[in-house]
Structure 1
Amino acid sequence: MAYNQIFEYLLALEKNNNQEWFHQTKEERMAVVQEFNQLVDDFSHALHEKDQDSPILPAKNLTFKLNRDTRFSHDKSPYNPVFRAHIGPKGKLPIPTGYFIFLKPNDQSFLGGGLFADMFSDATDLIRQALIKHESEFLAIIQKPAFKKHFSVLGTQLKRMPRGYEQYADSPIADYLKFKSMYLEYSLTDQEILESDDFVAQAVNKFILMKDFNQFLNTALKEFKFPERK
């Protein structure tokens, strides 16, 4: 896998973040997109072997475009110089949760798990209810030595207890009830990726450490439905 080509292209895109350069280098872009899609396919198969809930889907159903939505952003650069994919039970939809691949040069790459989207209040409520009902199960997952060695729970977090949950302020899960979203990240350096003998196998070993965390969230989110577009 030519990870160096992927990184070189992303670095060049970051320096030439404009439509003219983007279209002029279409041939180079298509080559690295193909490389990344092959990587995602490799991940799909390797993850499915160790997690039957992780699907084998075409890369096009799992990857995100380089184009940015600039409508509500001060940064009007049209492209996001990063390759991303979410391998979840329903493809790249954030719910159910799955495994997230984020490749960006200069040691900004990471492997992720859990729920990164915090705009779904119904999802937040379902997770909070699960935390209350299954407190010991959740704590057992995040307190496993292998889990604690590699991860800490991240996400958008309220400063105070959410309304309706004040009675749990002294609970061992109080801080987790403040999260609007809950996710995991395992940071990767460029060197770790470029010099790895088998990056996919090594990354999958890290992903599988997230499996129980993902399953806890997905059980909580079983009744979640995405809001209908008006």
Structure 2
Amino acid sequence: MNKILTYLTELEQNNNRDWFHAHKPEYQGACRAFEELLQVLMLELKKFDDCIPVVEPKELTFKLMRDTRFSHDKSPYNPAFRAHIAPRGKLPVPVGYYLMIKPGGRSFLGGGLFADMFKDATAMVREYIAAHGDEWQEIITAPAFTDRFTVGGTALKNVPRGYDAAHPQAAYLKNKSWYLEFPVSDEQCLAADFIPFAASVFEAMQPFNAFLNRALEGFEMPTRS
């Protein structure tokens, strides 16, 4: 982890292509360290979530390169190592466990549905929450949940048409995405028990993820034309 954070800190301070290519060995070493971490973490997640497959860690990671075409910030790299460990690898659906390592106390452990551009997925989750409101309420009010998480997500101003504005879960029916973020300090990242600590946080997310995945059963990711 020290190798990962050191590299990312230096990349943030030298966010240009010349520096990146001149320090390719450091990048490769940090990538190997991150993939080794993911390998161990994946096995820990399987202990409480048997939907998690064992795959090559590099299949779960996201690139550092940024798409700057429509951004005022033209920095070519995002100084963060990110991965999504889920039933179908890093695809956003089915939902899984998201890890972002970013120096300066900006790391976090995440879960749920972050993507809000899939209208069918949003509709499926809304329908399921509307029909299983008691189960949803039980999950998000459990002490193991409330001690760590608050449900986030982009949301409409009003309950969408077709749903009861007086529904007990009306606040969540407004959402277009439903996710969790647990912040992690640099000190926590560097601690010797980071992996069991992260696994314990992810285990507390598991009922939330499982609910969303039951809602999303049958959803197919759109194919690129």
TM-score (norm 1): 0.95
Pair 1:208-2:203 in alignment: yes
Q: Which residue of 2 aligns with 1:139?
A: 137
1:81 to 75, 79, 82: 79
Structure 1: 5+ residue runs without aligned partners? none
1:181 to 177, 190, 195: 177
Q: Which residue of 2 aligns with 1:71?
A: 69
String of CA shifts for 1:2-59, please: whole Å, max 9, x gaps: x122111111111111111110000111001100010011111111122111121111
Q: Which residue of 2 aligns with 1:158?
A: 156
Q: Which residue of 2 aligns with 1:219?
A: 214
Paired amino acid for 2:136: F
String of CA shifts for 1:71-124, please: whole Å, max 9, x gaps: 222222111100000000000000000000010011111100001111101100
String of CA shifts for 1:160-202, please: whole Å, max 9, x gaps: 112322xx212220010011000001111111121x2311111
Structure 2: 5+ residue runs without aligned partners? none
How many angstroms apart in 2 are the aligned matches of 1:55 and 1:172? 36
SS of residue in 2 equivalent to 1:77: coil
Paired amino acid for 1:205: S
TM-score (norm 2): 0.97
Aligned residues: 225
String of CA shifts for 1:123-150, please: whole Å, max 9, x gaps: 0000000001111111111110110110
2:189 to 184, 189, 193: 193
1:101 to 99, 119, 122: 99
Q: Which residue of 1 aligns with 2:22?
A: 24
Q: Which residue of 1 aligns with 2:88?
A: 90
How many angstroms apart in 1 are the aligned matches of 2:69 and 2:159? 33
Paired amino acid for 2:100: F
How many angstroms apart in 1 are the aligned matches of 2:98 and 2:182? 10
Pair 1:228-2:223 in alignment: yes
Change (3 A) 1:71 1:164: farther
SS of residue in 2 equivalent to 1:50: coil
Q: Which residue of 2 aligns with 1:12?
A: 10
Pair 1:113-2:117 in alignment: no
How many angstroms apart in 2 are the aligned matches of 1:40 and 1:64? 13
After superposition, the CA RMSD in angstroms is 1.0
How many angstroms apart in 1 are the aligned matches of 2:220 and 2:88? 13
Structure 1 vs Structure 2: percent identity of aligned residues? 51
